[in-house]
Amino acid sequence: METFDLSEICYWFCDARLWKKRFFWCQNSLKNSIYPATLESLWVAVVLITAIHFAGYKVPYDLVGKVSSYISGSSILAHLVGSFVVALFLWLAVVYAIRNTLKLLFLYKGWMYEVRGKDCKPSKLTQVWLLLVKLFSGWHKPMLYSFQELLPRLPLPTVPDTIKRYLKSIRPLLDDENYARMEKLASEFQNGIGVKLQRYLVLKSWWATNYVTDWWEEYVYLRGRSPIIVSSNYYGIHNSYWLPTNSQVARTAGAIWFCLQYRRLIERQKLAPILVQGLVPLCSWQYERVFNTTRIPGIECDKIVHYQDAKHIVVYHKGKYFKVLIYYRNRILQACEIELQIQQILDDNSTPSEGEEKLAALTAGERTAWAQARKDFFAKGVNKASLDIIEKAAFVVALDDVPYEYDPKHPEKLDNCGRILLHGKGHDRWFDKSFMLCTGNNGRIGFNVNHSWADATIMAHVGDYITCSEFLNQQYKDGHNVGTPEFTPPAPTRLQWNLNTKCIEAIEQSYKVAYSILNDVELRVYLHDAYGKGLIKANSISPDGYIQMALQLAYYRDAGKFDLTYEASITRLFRNGRTETVRSCTIESCRWVKAMEDKMITVKERVKLLMDAVKRHQKNYLDAMCGKGIDRHLFGLYVVSKYLEIDSPFLKEVLSEPWLLSTSQTPQGLSLLVDFKKHPNCLSFGGGFGPATDDGYGVSYTAAGEDLLFFHVCSKRSSSKTDAARFVKQIEKALSDMKDLLEQNKKIHQSESA
């Protein structure tokens, strides 16, 4: 049970805003618990039952009369109370019957596997399902969390099914001898210890909302002791085509204000949940921690802490930290008022205190070292107070003193922009905050995001919202935010630090670690404007599958072999879902890649193999989305084996296999505020992340428009096996060769039909 100390109770009683937030939370929770019904429908039911009863008609089984007989008082009052009780009972029965029906309907995933298009009709079963979903859920506009309790739990696959899919996924990567060895290990596991481990996992799947998410968050992110800079945190660039103002002050203030508006939408649940095909909801749980959230270091395990409210942000500029109040006189400050505060920070000529400039390097270094330093030097006094202000801030802003540049004639400028956002100088990013809004001195913005609390699609939504809102609201006039300040906002206050010699030594040690990591980063951002998803879809090919095949072809040409490929897919069709792995290197993709390198294979055969490879990839992707993936199940079994202290050679080998090609697609247009076809300048450049292994690549891509693709390719300079610049050229060549293949195939068909 949640407990409060006296100071917290006083804080609640004294803060009217928190009471208001609490009221909205209670009200919205009640609405969500009865969705898709409304409270108004209850009063309709009460009036209807009361009218029927007093008209002389008996409600079934004369329920009103039976209930009234147990109520003392006047006859009319007893009958009124009885009518209300019966109406409430019948209304609740209908509401929960509808809700349980929706739960069952959301279990059906067959619609996802059916071919969609102008000439393709869904099956009879899917048509009936569509009709029922519309009937039961389309009564009124849902709130952000309306569907949360209606979402099904992530299904737990059987061990034989997962083993079968796993062996199929590694077949193209192993020779006959090693494959036979893995078959033997898998068989021994499946018929031996796997039975016991699965039994425990089944028990967890019964009582847990999601059988894997909590373990995934803890063991993949929070228990890791290595630095999170580059390896975990990622970056986003929003937006480089359209620059509404060159003023860093104005753009920063505008972006802050729209972030706060987005926070309000989340808090009041006015943000619409994402509905696949306009009907099936995705889990919205991760939005809860976008703001007021930080990662707290621990000696053995970190933890994610979310604060209920924050009335301030923290701004970092030239080695100094400032607390900036964003809530004053019972309202959020306007963008034009925040602009005055940001200007004061830029005008501040004071120097950082000793150790302050590189303080954030602690969040970039080894996690255990940061936890120990936090315990030794930030447990009391002014250091604790200042650290609390940072950790309890809504988010942190970095005012960089360099420009974020984009020039099509000089692509290396965008590479540099990505590096600035990904790791900065190693000491000017508070990597523990849920996200950090970064602004260049030329008015461009971007994000550095902690990966532990949520997945990239959530922050992509935030970035889209800011850019689209700026565009739609015409936020800037003459380079400044529109509007006139109603009052002089509270001035930013410098955070104070008392960092002793040992603390400064710890900061310097973490900085050395961070600097070594960031100096090893090679990043290339590639804009492919020869064609985009328009040409791909015109050939009836999935853009994601097509790009994944291009990456397979590029990697084979780069490395001379095939390797395990990781593509992240969402599992948010299920409650508290995060991600699942799509193993993009398949038997079919390898056949196609080899055919592309064999001049003896005809165009028709290559196209057929390409279609087969894309079809297999799409099937694997859908399986992953629908809870039939491989890696999260094996991961869950591995965690159980560790809890039971059971050694499994099979699981140990599977979990130690390196992902040499780690990929992810960044979605576009999640906010639905702007038609990107009409306003392509609002498109985001996406973002990127570091490689999963020392000799691997981290590749993020975005199908940004009908004629535009973005790739963010990252590798380590210390590796002799990888080279981001070289790999980008291979991607460019692969995309060109694939286009030529499709065009040749089209010409062949035209000549045959002529």
Q: Which residues have a catalytic role annotated?
A: 451
- Which residue type is seen at 59? V
Cβ(660)–Cβ(727) below 8 Å? no
Q: Positive or negative, the Cα torsion across 490, 321, 299, 692? A: positive
Best CA proximity match to 347, nearest among 321, 390, 317: 317
* HEC secondary structure over 441-478: CCCCEEEEECCCCCCHHHHHHHHHHHHHHHHHHCCEEC
Tokens of 457: 């699609």
How far is Cα 57 from Cα 63, in angstroms, rounded to an integer?
Answer: 11
- Decide the pairing of beta strands 435-439 and 396-399: parallel
Q: Which two tokens stand for residue 713?
A: 């390719």
Q: 712, 418 in Cβ contact below 8 A?
A: yes
- The CA-atom distances, in angstroms, between 648 and each of 186, 192, 645 are 10, 10, 10
Nearest to 135 by CA among 17, 279, 327: 279
Residues paired with residue 662 on neighbouring β-strands, in sequence order: 566, 698
Cα separation, 729 vs 733, in Å, equals: 6
Question: Helices 16-34 & 39-54, crossing angle to 10 degrees?
Answer: 60
394 CA to centre of own chain? 18
- Decide if 281 contacts 275 (C-beta within 8 A): yes
b/e per residue 96-108 (b: at least 16 CB within 10 A)? eebbebbeebbee
- Report CA dihedral (601, 605, 609, 612) to the nearest 10 degrees: -170
Whether residue 495 contacts residue 314, with contact meaning beta carbons closer than 8 Å, is answered with yes
Q: Measured between alpha carbons, how far is 230 from 685 in angstroms, rounded to an integer?
A: 19
Strand order in the sheet with 708-716: 521-528, 708-716, 697-705, 661-665, 565-570, 579-583
Taking the C-alpha atoms of residue 152 and residue 36, their distance in angstroms, rounded to an integer, is: 16
Nearest to 373 by CA among 381, 386, 383: 383
Residues 6+ apart with CB under 8 A from 747: none
Report yes or no: 415 and 331 within 8 Å, Cβ to Cβ: no
Q: Which of 371, 377, 259, 265 is nearest to 324 (CA)?
A: 259
Q: E-assigned strands of 312-412? A: 312-317, 320-325, 327-328, 331-332, 396-399
Q: Where are the alpha helices (DSSP H) in 243-359?
A: 248-267, 335-347
Extract the tokens encoding 38. Answer: 């409304």
3-state helix, strand, coil in the chain (%, to 5): 50, 15, 35
According to DSSP, the residues that pair with 570 across neighbouring strands are 579
Nearest to 690 by CA among 449, 528, 497: 449
- Residue 22's alpha-carbon distances to 25, 27, 28, 310, 331, in angstroms, are 5, 9, 10, 14, 16
Provide the 3-class DSSP secondary structure of residue 165: helix
Read off the tokens for 279. Answer: 């009907």
